[in-house]
Every structure is written in C-alpha cells, then in structure tokens.
Structure 1
Amino acid sequence: MSTDPTTTTDGLVTGDDGLARPLWAVADPLLRDYYDTEWGMPVHDERGVYERLSLEAFQSGLSWRTILAKRPAFRAAFADFDPDVVAQFGEDDVARLMGDAGIVRNQAKIRATITNAAATVALRADGGLADLVWSFRPAETPAPRTAAAVPTTSPESVALSKALRERGFAFVGPTTMHALMEALGIVDTHLVGSHRRGTSGVWS
C-alpha cells in the first residue's frame, strides 16, 4: 500500500500518518508541527497575545514560514515579548534591532512593536489586551471547505483593527487582525475535514 501523501479536491492533503491537513501545513516540518500543535489553539494571556500580534505584524508581506523560523530570535531580541520591558525600548534598542540579522529588520515594524508594547501596558487599565481582542469573537465561526473559501477579513477583524488603532496600536490592519484571530483560536478556519477542525474547544 502506498503511503505517499494524497491531495483531495478540497485542498486537504492526507499525510502518511493518515491525517488531513491543508496544503500550506504539509510543505515543511516546521509548518506541520505549528499547524498540528499550536495554530488555532486558544491564547488568553497578555504576553502570548502581544507576541502573536507582533509576529503577525512582522509577517505582513512575508511568508509565515520565515517568521516561524525566526521566532526564537524574535523572542531573544524583544525580551521574550514582555510588554513592560519592550515599552521602555529607546533609540539604542531600535539601532540594535536594525542590526540583528536574526529578525526581520524593518524599522517601521520594529517601532510598531515598541509602540504596541506601550499600548498594551496602557490597556491594562481598561481590561487588558487579551480581553479586548477576545471580545471580538463572532457569534459563529466560518466553516470553509476549500482553501479559496477561507476568509482573509471579517466584520469583527475590521472592528478589532479600529478598536486597537483608537488605543494607539500600529500595524493592526483588518487582514492582520483576522490572521491574529485565527492564530488565537477566536475563529476556527481549519478546513472542514482537517484533523484539527474543532479541536480548540472554543467552537463545537
């Protein structure tokens, strides 16, 4: 019997372990592990949400594989994404980060990450970043059957983007916020038929 991966008409690939995943999650072991163990699982702590918000901003215009491979370097460069520490970064830190080949050296995104740390700290007085982001959970989640049917924005991601901008956050456009909501498990956009569909516990 062949154990070669097979692609179905809905864009899912059944691997040699018999589990169905979308095409993007089978192309690389790093992506496969991320898909199987982390993507779409609930994150409710401030640091975890801030880290994912930051990485989604850095991913804009790049592949997620690139960001995932650099995540250890990002964590080292940004004090393990501790908002209290990053909020105090100054121009010397910007210069240091711009010289760090381990991360994405985009000055606008680096400055946004520092700005967003300060905004995260300030938001604690109004319930905190995690509670705000999760408050935009929709009444129901998409149920895409093909990769083409997976939405890239939603009314909730547009509203979340606006709410964060009003609180001083940067690089939080609707598409980036939708990706964040997917990553945090706020919406479940695993394809119907994927072995991960419905596993987060957020959506039955």
Structure 2
Amino acid sequence: MASLTLDETIAITLRIVYLAAAVAIVFVVNRFFFPMRKETQFRYNFKALFRLNNSYWDIIRDGLSKETRLSVSNEILTYFHMIYQECAAYIQKNKSLPFREDREAVLLKLWHMFSELEQMHFLVRTKSILQEERKALIHLIDAIQEELYPIISYENFPAIRGELRYEEPEVVYVLEQYLKHAESLLAYKHCIPF
C-alpha cells in the first residue's frame, strides 16, 4: 500500500534495495551461521551423481508406459552436468585429495553412464523397445537401481547381463555399455563416499 503513495522511481529503488538487503542477509547467515565445508559439499555432490542416475532410470521407466516430457530430461541433464563440473573442479583444485585419480576415473565413468542413459531415453522415446520387452526392461531397471545406489554391489550384475535380449541391437549395445561402466565402478568402491 505504501508504494501507491510513493513516486514510481522511489518505489522501484526501494524494491531493489530491499532485494539487495535480502540477498546480503541470506549470504551472511549462510556464510557465518550455517557454513558448509567444501569437502562436505563435494561428498554430497558425488552422491548426487549416483542419485541422478537412478532418477534418470525412473524417467526411462515412465517413458515405457507414457510419453515423457523432454523438459524433464533436459532439466536432469543440466543438473547432472552442473554437479559434475563442480566435482571435477573440486578434484582439480585439491591436488592432495585422497584417491584423486580414482575419483576422476569414477567421474568419467558416471559421465559415460549418463550419456548411455540419454541414449536409452532416446530409444524408449522412439519406440525401439517392443511391447513384450517392456516388462523385462522394467525388471532390469529395478535390478540396476538396486545395485548402483546407495551401495554398489556385484550381486545382480551377472543375472542382469544374461537378460539382455532385445530385438533392437542398439538397445542391447547401450545396455551392455552402461552395465560395463557400472560394473567397473566396483573397482573404485573404496573411494566412493557412500
């Protein structure tokens, strides 16, 4: 109501000043009252990359039964690459980080896996999965999600590989590549902060 009696330029100036004050207050509170150490943020981001893999599998699962919006996959891709860049920058900046080379390798494998998820989403959207193959793919997605996060284990990988029977060779190839990279993460289990 007060802005109705003020001059327009004064009202706009006050809004900008209030916005700047709010940003400054949030910065001060976050910086001094709720600080987050860079190492803690790195660990959280590293875990988030695995969670995003599972989330993308959920999008693919949904795509088997209904049309998925590209904006959702675009959002998750943007988020993945943003977090990936933060993790890579942290590793590059901290030369004395334990298991530095191994963590770089894990990041690269996660990037490959996410690329394969993009390809899988494309194959689902282009109806490359036959109707009778969908139930098997849903079972495969469940097994992969169980193996990958929150704990990487080897229990289902041999059985999962045995179930890769799809008419489209591209589907088999993408799933084989994804499983190869996921399985190779087992060698780096010691440096993955779960």
Q: Which has the higher helix share?
A: 2
| TM-score (normalizing by structure 1) | 0.29
